[in-house]
Chains A and B, each alone.
Chain A
Amino acid sequence: MIHVLLITFIITLFYMAIANRLMTYIKVLALQGVLLFFVVFIQLSEINTLNLVLILLETIVFKSLAVPIFLGYLLKRNNITREAEPFLPNFVSLVITTFIVVITILISNTIKDDNLDKIFFVVALSTLFFGLYLIATRRKIITHVMGYMVIENGVFVLSLAIGNEMPMLVNLGIMLDIFASVLILGIFLNKIGDVFKDVDVDQLSNLKDY
């Protein structure tokens, strides 16, 4: 069951690679949050209320409700056009994403480690690289934030792959920090929407050495 969920997760990446509209990206991000919740839920060996609440907060509330709603609000408020405007055609994107997944599978096959769940590792690495790819090839600033969220999801899967428990306090701090950084990114995105006409990366090239 976990494997089905993880493969669905990979498919969402492919879908993101060829999606045209920004709303689709947001919906896919929300879906990824739900998928992650089920993955964690199935993996839990014992159900402990505090732990469950934390996971719920982190996946459902934060990843699939708060961030997508916030991003949707940013889209509306700043009148961002609905096209994602990639630098590369969708077909090339799809091919590159496939390459990323294939290469991560090859990499993980070379690693022999009992403490590591391989499928988790493949999904985590490909999500990370895909997030970086998304940041590099989209013109709009809001897609950078989405790419950052994809990377965060990848890191989340990676932490599941490793399955190491950090102390509760440290975990809480990490979660709060990630939440705060997304919030800060959103706030400044809003400001960029107020100040500049287009929310494009090309607008941000005024800081120079001379």
Chain B
Amino acid sequence: MIGIYLLGALTIAITLFFSRNKLVEYSLVGVFLGLQTIFTVHTCMHNGITELVYFTYDSLGILLLVTLNIVSIPAAIHSYIYIETHKENPQTRAIYLSSFVLILMAISAGYLSNHIAVTWIFTEITTLAASALIYHHRNKLALEGTWKYVFICAISITFIFIGILFLSLSLQHAGSDDLSFKNLLAKSGQLNPIWLRMAFLFIFTGFTAKLGLVPMFTAGIDAKDTAPAPAGALLASVLMNLGFVGIFRFYVVVANTPLLHWAQLVVGSAAFLSLFVATVYMMKVKNIKRMLAYSGIEHMGIVMLGIAAGGIGYYAAVLHIILHAFVKSSLFFQFNQLYRVFQNKSIYHVGNYFKYNPTGAIVLLLGFISTTAMPPSGLFVSEFLIFKSLFDVGQIVLLIAVLLLLTMIIWSFGKNIFKVLFVPAVGFDDSNVEKISPWESVSQFVLLATAVYLGLNPPAIFVQMLQESVSLLPL
């Protein structure tokens, strides 16, 4: 099935690239979404099956694939709205839709791959597809953002490759050269620790470019800022999850060796630094889209803290990353409507949003509550569990520092969001503000509600799959 999916998606992407007919393009995207849904259902029905040697449908992959499927449908709808309101010319539209399909395909395949080099290949393809999405506006800023993103990702990808080389050196000591995660896990006792350390450092650093963690987070911020909002939503949710998958699958291997404690230290310090950096930037950022992107860094920091703490933290981290994808993508979808009203990204030129688009303002408010993990947000549950895991391992000082940083983030986030919602913008001429249909906000409500539902009242099968996805980690 994955062969059919990859071939079909690739064919659709290529046809879209050369097509100039609007009707054909939109129906092709529809066909792709259908294919994606069928594929997701197929993977759900065949849990644990390996197809085409390199792809295994395991619980983590399936969970994230379902997340991707749920986010991709509103992303397509909002891309349609975006293209229609901007009256894009046929060429830009074709390139946008083509790379939209390509990036979703590459991310899906990356989730499911069971071989570290195959994950590498698909991660690289996402960079290529993302570059076309980021460059969509074809102006100076877009060019700058694209260049930085492509360059930093190219370097990071090379780092991952170096890490893979070190890993294979480490694996030679175990008398094997099969780099699939399953074999790595089976041989984890015999891996050479020096090379394994080097491999972990390089692979971790490389994947942080996609995950959005210190040290390689910068490129992602520029990318999410300059890409069109629906594409930015993909970059800020499902693409970050791909970085998480890359690190997580390898972390599972390292965690089963004596290096567990060292790896926890590396991941934990990178996570705490990310939280710190996110706080500093959140305090001074005035660009709403960048603020949302920095908030993503904060959440990834929390997720990796959960991974580093272990115990219930593993479970909470996977839960958090899924819920975060729903919440953050809905905020990015909403941002596009905000931009259509005010024609500006800066806090200074935006305000009193409740007056111009009440439905959208409610989405922003609910999105704010969800992102900052206030109850009844689903993220509250996962964040609470992560704090509990930190408490369990006795990291009280770290926990207090994290809570202080989070308080500052909530303060600065709230300050900006309430300015957008209630305080009138100085010198804003509201005589010909565009009317936004409330229907455009429906998908955001659905996404936010899904996050609440999955957090507060998770279905049994969901909990079971979450537990399965972290079952290989030592307690």
Chain A interface residues (CB < 8 Å from chain B): 111, 113, 115-116, 128, 135, 141, 144, 148, 151-152, 155, 158-159, 162, 164-166, 170, 173-174, 177, 180-181, 184-185, 188-189, 191-192, 195-196, 204, 206-210
Majority secondary structure, A binding face = helix
**Are A188 and B121 touching (Cβ within 8 A)?**
no
- Besides A174-B121, A184-B131, A188-B135, 14 more A-B contacts (Cβ < 8 Å) are A148-B154, A158-B165, A164-B169, A174-B120, A177-B121, A180-B128, A181-B157, A184-B128, A188-B131, A191-B143, A204-B144, A204-B147, A207-B141, A207-B225
Most buried by B among A148, A158, A170, A191: A170
Nearest 6 pairs of A and B residues by beta carbon: A210-B286, A164-B168, A177-B124, A173-B121, A209-B285, A170-B117
Interface residues of B in 135-186 (CB under 8 A from A): 135, 139-141, 143-148, 150-151, 154-155, 157-158, 161-162, 165-166, 168-169, 171-173, 177, 179
Smallest distance from the beta carbon of A125 to chain B beta carbons, Å? 10
**Are B162 and A185 touching (Cβ within 8 A)?**
no
Smallest distance from the beta carbon of A31 to chain B beta carbons, Å? 21
Can you list 11 A-B contacts (CB < 8 A)?
A115-B173, A148-B155, A158-B162, A158-B165, A164-B169, A164-B172, A174-B120, A195-B143, A204-B147, A207-B222, A210-B285
Query: With the chains together, A196 CA to B144 CA distance in Å?
Result: 10
Query: With the chains together, A128 CA to B155 CA distance in Å?
Result: 11
What residues of chain A lie closer than 8 Å to B161, measured between beta carbons?
155, 174
Query: With the chains together, A138 CA to B125 CA distance in Å?
Result: 28
**Are B147 and A141 touching (Cβ within 8 A)?**
yes
Give the nearest-CB partner of B138 in chain A. A191
Give the nearest-CB partner of A132 in chain B. B155
Most buried by B among A144, A158, A174: A174
What residues of chain B lie closer than 8 Å to A210, measured between beta carbons?
284-287, 346
Interface size in chain B (residues, C-beta < 8 A): 50
Contact partner of A207 (CB less than 8 A), chosen from B144, B194, B286, is B144
Q: Is B40 an interface residue (CB 8 A)?
A: no
Give the nearest-CB partner of B127 in chain A. A181
What residues of chain A lie closer than 8 Å to B177, measured between beta carbons?
164-165
**Are B165 and A206 touching (Cβ within 8 A)?**
no
Give the nearest-CB partner of A110 in chain B. B194
**Are B128 and A209 touching (Cβ within 8 A)?**
no
Query: With the chains together, A141 CA to B161 CA distance in Å?
Result: 24
What residues of chain B lie closer than 8 Å to A204, measured between beta carbons?
144, 147-148
Query: With the chains together, A177 CA to B140 CA distance in Å?
Result: 27
Query: With the chains together, A199 CA to B168 CA distance in Å?
Result: 39
Contact with A along B272-312 (1 / 0, CB 8 A): 00000000010011110010000000000000000000000
Query: With the chains together, A143 CA to B128 CA distance in Å?
Result: 21
